Amino acid sequence: MPAGYDDCLTARAALRLAANVSLLFADRPLLQRVAAAAAAGFTAVECQFPYEAPAAAWAAELRRHGVRLVLHNLPAGDWAAGERGIACHPDRVAEFRAGIARALDYATTLAVPQLNVIAGVVPPGVARGVALATLVDNLRVAAEACAAAGIGLRLEPINSLDIPGFLVDTVDVALEVLRRVDHPALQLQFDVYHVARMGGDPVALWRRHHAVVGHVQWADAPGRHEPLTGAIDFAALADAMCETGWTGWIGAEYLPADAASGGTERGLGWIERLGLHRAADPGRAGAGEGCKR
Ligand SMILES: O=C(O)C(=O)[C@@H](O)CO
Ligand SMILES: [Mg+2]
C-alpha cells in the first residue's frame, strides 16, 4: 500500500532543524539569541559569524541552554563594510588562511561539526579564472586542515542578484569547484533560497545532487522570509529529503517577515505546519523512510 499524507508527516518529523541566530532572534545581542532559541524550543543553532564573542562565552551559553552549534562560517573579510567573502581574492590568501585557524579554534572548542566558506565577489581587475583557481587552492588547504580536526567543510552557492558578481552563484559552479578540489571533507551547502533565486528547482536539484550535500539552509523565495511565505514547495522538498535519507541539518536561515520584537517567535508556525519539530531528536521514528504522495 503506498504511503499517504500521515506517513509523510511521520518521516518529516525526523528532519533536524537548527535556528540561524544571525538572522533569527536578531532583536537581541548575538549571544542572548542562544537563550531565545532554546526558549522557542530549538536544541541546535547555527551562526554566520560567531567571532564577536569569545569561544569560551559561546561554550558557556550553549552549555547553559543545552544547545548545539552545528555550523558557522570561516571569517569572510569586513562584512560590515560590505565585503562578502575573500576566498577567491588572490591578494587576500594570507588573510584567508589565517581565518582557517581562527575558525577551527572556535569549531574545536565548541564541537562544531562543519564550517562554511563564503567564496566572495570576483575582485575588480581579476579574471574569473584566476579567482576560481585561488578559491580552489584555498579550499584545498582549508579542507585538509578541517579533515585533520575531524570537521567538515562546506561551499555555499549564494545568488548573484542579492550579491552581484558573487563567484559561486549556482549549484553548477559549486560542483565544478568541488570536482577541482576533490577532497572528501568538502561538500555542498545547499541553501534553498539561493538556489531558487537563481532560477533553480530546489526539489529537482536536491534529487540530483543530494549525495554531495553536507548542510542545508532554507528560506522562502523571493522574500527570504519564513518557509510557506513564498513560491518554494517546502512540503515536496521535505519529502524529497526524507526519501533520499537526509540525516544532516537544516538551518532555518531567513529574515522573519515581522522583524519587530517577538517577530521570530510569532513566525515559527511553519515548523508545525510542515510536520517538523523544533527540537532536533535523531531518535524520532521515520528517518530515511520512503514517502510517496
Ligand atoms: O547568506 C547566506 O545564505 C549564508 O549562509 C551566510 O552565511 C553568508 O552570507
Ligand atoms: Mg545560507
- Predicted local confidence at residue 292, as pLDDT: 39
Residue 269, C-beta contacts closer than 8 angstroms, at least 6 positions apart: none
How many angstroms separate the alpha carbon of residue 282 from the centre of ligand 2? 23
Kindly report the protein residue whose alpha carbon is nearest to atom 4 of ligand 1: 48
Q: Give the Cα separation of 76 and 79 in Å (integer).
A: 7
Is residue 291 a part of any domain in this protein?
no
pTM passes above 0.90: yes
ipTM over 0.90: yes
- Asked whether residue 285 is assigned to any structural domain, the reply reads no
CATH number of the domain to which 147 belongs: 3.20.20.150
Which residue has the least CA distance to atom 1 on ligand 1? 158
Looking at the domain assignment, is residue 51 inside a domain? Answer: yes
Domain that holds residue 186: 5-273
In total, the chain counts a number of residues equal to 293
Q: Which residues of the chain have pLDDT under 70?
A: 1-9, 261, 282-293
Number of domains in the chain: 1
Instruction: Give Rg (Cα) of the chain.
Output: 18
Q: Best mutation site among 20, 24, 48 for ligand 1, i.e. most ligand atoms within 8 A of its Cβ?
A: 48
Question: Residue 2's pLDDT is what?
Answer: 43
In angstroms, the CA 255 to CA 289 distance is: 31
In this prediction, residue 6 carries a pLDDT of 64
Please indicate, yes or no, if residue 19 is contained in any of the structural domains: yes
What is the Cα–Cα distance from 26 to 199, expressed in whole angstroms? 29
The answer as to whether 293 is a domain residue is no
The string of pLDDT tens digits covering residues 217-228 is 999 999 999 999
pLDDT at res. 11: 87
> pLDDT tens-digit profile of 229-287?
999 999 999 999 999 999 999 999 999 998 776 799 999 999 999 999 999 975 665 44
Mark whether 253 is an active-site residue. yes
Q: What is the pLDDT of residue 287?
A: 42
| Interatomic CA distance for residues 43 and 88, integer angstroms | 34
Q: Which ligand is nearest to the CA of 191?
A: 2
| Residue 23 is assigned to a structural domain of this protein | yes
CB distance 204 to 230 below 8 Å: no
What pLDDT, on a 0 to 100 scale, did the predictor assign at position 10?
72
213 within domain boundaries: yes
Residue 284 included in any domain: no
